[in-house]
Structure 1
Amino acid sequence: MHILDELAKRDLIQQTTDDEGLRKHLDENVVTLYCGFDPTADSLHIGHLLPVLMLKRFQKAGHRPIALIGGGTGMIGDPSGRSTERSLNSPEVVKGFSDKIKEQLAGLLNFDQGENSAVARNNHEWLSTMTIIEFLRDIGKHFSINYMLAKDSVESRLENGISFTEFSYMMLQSIDFLNLYEKENCTLQIGGSDQWGNITAGMELIRRKQFEKEEEEAEVFGLTVPLITKSDGTKFGKTAGGAVWLDPEKTTPYEFYQFWINTDDRDVLRFTKYFTFIDFEEITALEKELEEAPEKRVPHKRLAEEMTRMVHGEEALQQAQKITEALFSGDLASLNAEEIEQGFKDVPSVVINNKEIGLIDLLVEAGISSSKRQAREDIKNGAIYINGVRNQELTHQLTETNRIEDKFTIIRRGKKKYFLIRF
């Protein structure tokens, strides 16, 4: 199947500048394309995954992707899709963010695949050496104020105000496309639909530069993917704990797995088409599973499995599945300390210094029961579980036999209230 047909079937094309021209261009060439990622944090989040995976899809189709890290543009701030201006980070912070993002991109794209190996570039390399005179004379003269004001990313900000710093972002991103076109023969830029104005501005700059040099007009193209929305109206990629990051230190593989497995039934097949490389035959089978046995959540598990394996690897996937199964079955003693750290990251926890402590005293000290009288009632009523096992012994002493790897004990009160005891 042609790459454009597959993208269309997966509903991954929002806009293209010239569909037929791009199709012909892809048929006749190994096309170099790029997508930019500004380092606004020390990790990418799942909102970045769709454009990254678009690069990967083009690479699998035989084309050459460039992952452009915005070490220069990241010091300015993109006004697209924002109602207020970003806070500016220091050069040292931006460089640190850039280095970490480069490592993450290397884990998602194939940087060792011969002719169409992916490459990473950083626009700080060319933007930081350009003088203000060069910027105004060589770039600024090709952009009319009226042209820039008409772009959505600028127009939407006029009411609340936009600084010249952010106003100039469009020109900086245009320089990226021009530079990659001239030095890497990059002829296609992709991005989210909020980047349409920046992409077309870059194409216009390339054409104006070609006209200025009296060269033949360049064949360059733009393609955007839709911005993802959830059927329940909440923002994609956000949870009660904040953004879902690709860095396992910020969002554990278990949390990452749980994000996908908890996808709304109305979204699960759409997200499977967007984010995975599962073929359409299997997607059809998953759709049937959802219709016939929604309670089994087969598509949700498949989506979570594919995404966790892709981002964190097979071992992390198996660990996330093990934690999930242990929590479902109540067999918490089967977990090791690392798995407990992941699975109980957000539950209330307390540090206990005593090597041995009575269960009643523990329940009160940890705030699990409000008083010793309440603790006794909870134990007698069978509401207290130690590492998944119900305990109704009022005189029970917690010793090393109740500690997992001599570090943790998990107390459950009732059906769902977990508490992590750290020794």
Structure 2
Amino acid sequence: MAVTDIKAFAHLTEADVEALGCELDELRRNIEQSLGQRDADYIRRVIRVHRGLEVAARLLLFAGRYRAPRLAGTAMLAAAKTIEMMELGHNISHGQWDWMNDPEIHSTSWEWDFLGPSAHWKRSHNYVHHTYTNVYGLDEDLSFAVLRMTRDEPWRPIHLMQPVLNVVVAAGFELSIAVHDWALERRHLGIPRSRLRSKPNIEFARKIARQLGKDFLLFPALSGRNFKYTLAANASALLLRNLWAYMVIMCGHFPDGAEKFTAEHLETETHGEWYLRQLLGTTNFTAGPVLAFMSGNLSYQIEHHLFPDLPSNRYPEIAERVHALCDKYDLPYTTGSLPAQFWLAYRTVCKLALPDRLLRRTSDDAAETRSERKFLGIRPTWQATDPITGARRGLRTALAATDASMRAAGHGRGRWFRAAMDRVGRR
């Protein structure tokens, strides 16, 4: 099962968690107090780059009779749509630039170039997902579409199709998100499906018509004889943007080490524990400036979940301090290369397509679903504080010591864990 007691799982005391929360609050204050002209210049520069890329791409597609200009236009259009979705639409909708009081670059006025209305997205993503991150039964991203990403989700025969459905969801990621957010908006307002003229339905239909009309009718028609080439270029750009966005999101939420939590934990969750849940429930991937920019700086998913409304261009400097805090409290800072993180997430998709009885690990000791029960029956071989340096020894040390104990026992992880549970039960 998922984590029910985050302090026990993290091997931190209540005072440790409170101190961690205070240090992260201080980090937030420092960043907020330093926001200024260079940050405003950054977002305005990104908007100019996006618009310039899109205009150049459209001109190439309108005038392109030859293969090379069409390919260049398609690539530029895919890049423009990616920047608009990841670095502009997603981050502006989080309120990262509201402090500027610019009516154009504000979470209440920005409507992104995406099938789903921004208002639906903000409720589903900004509120539900970021408040209840990885809480099974509350964060609906854990069972997005028909995907099973934790063993807390009961297995159903449809899950056998996960490896194939995963590709379908990736190719149509924009539509998948739009429908997901639309359904959640209706449920939140208590509107039955039969009410076709409800506000969420009208908003959704208008946005769909606008986006499809723009990309599949208006711009192809404006290109005249190049209609079919522009239509193909628009479809290709959207597909590339969808696949890239899907990969980035998967790498931030589903590789090994992205912990899941139970709703029971929320009953007494403190501010410091909320921070700790965000830190343990998300993962990063390593990226240089260009890769980070094209991912909307969501290569820093940990920092984004800790501070979703701080400007994304500040995440690299925030990451240095968050990493230092993880070292101080001996907590994992889960990161890896983009291919490696995506492989771990996709491996979970394939693995959890199978019933639990066919899997080797237990529901408390699997890479994708761990809990504090992982450590039951294990006598710590380390002291809570290093006797020489005075450094805190927490979850990172506990995980390493547990893995070492399993290897020394000479058993498979699942068999070793079940044997440990049997010993606990006999006491």
Query: Do Structure 1 and Structure 2 share a fold, with TM-score over 0.5?
Result: no
Q: With structure 1 as the length reference, what TM-score do the two structures score?
A: 0.29
Task: Answer 1 or 2: which has greater helix percent.
Answer: 2
Q: With structure 2 as the length reference, what TM-score do the two structures score?
A: 0.29
- Structure with larger RCO (C-alpha < 8 A, sep 6+): 2
Q: Which has the larger radius of gyration?
A: 1
